[in-house]
């Protein structure tokens, strides 16, 4: 879990398949992106979905290049994917 990320940091989405409610798109798991902004701290929606107390989690806006997500992507080089992802799904990218 990474709560000390800042805009510009390279990250990778945790490659995990948890059971139950998950807010992180499957197609982004294991993919590399860059933090664009910090959106704030919010209760964890993965816990709230099961009527549990949602511990505070930092929510980040992360940019992904489509060609890094989908093999053979042929769209514009200006395209991007920009989801909001919680800190417990992000790890700093090494290298």
Other beta carbons within 10 angstroms of residue 76's beta carbon come to 8
DSSP H or E segment with residue 47: helix 45-48
Residue length of the chain: 95
Contact 7, 37 (CB under 8 A): yes
CATH number at residue 66: 2.30.30.50
| 2 in any annotated domain | no
What is the residue-averaged pLDDT of the chain? 90
pLDDT, tens digit, 9 for 90 and up, residues 21-32: 678 899 999 999
| 5 in any annotated domain | no
Collapsing DSSP states into helix, strand and coil, what is residue 26? Answer: helix
Residue 86 sits in which domain range? 10-92
pLDDT, tens digit, 9 for 90 and up, residues 59-89: 999 999 999 999 999 999 899 999 999 999 9
| 3 in any annotated domain | no
Collapsing DSSP states into helix, strand and coil, what is residue 89? Answer: helix
| 67 in any annotated domain | yes
How many distinct structural domains can be found in the chain? 1
Amino acid 95: pLDDT: 59
| 38 in any annotated domain | yes
- In the DSSP assignment, the letter for residue 46 is H
């Amino acid at each position: 879990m990474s709560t000390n990320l800042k805009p510009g940091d390279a990250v990778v989405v945790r490659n995990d398949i948890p059971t139950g409610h998950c807010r992180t798109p499957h197609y982004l798991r294991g993919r590399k992106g860059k933090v664009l902004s910090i959106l704030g701290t919010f209760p964890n929606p993965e816990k709230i979905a099961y009527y549990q107390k949602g511990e505070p989690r930092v929510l980040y806006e992360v940019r992904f290049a489509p060609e890094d997500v989908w093999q053979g992507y042929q769209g514009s080089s200006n395209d991007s994917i920009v989801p909001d992802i919680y800190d417990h799904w992000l790890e700093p990218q090494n290298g």
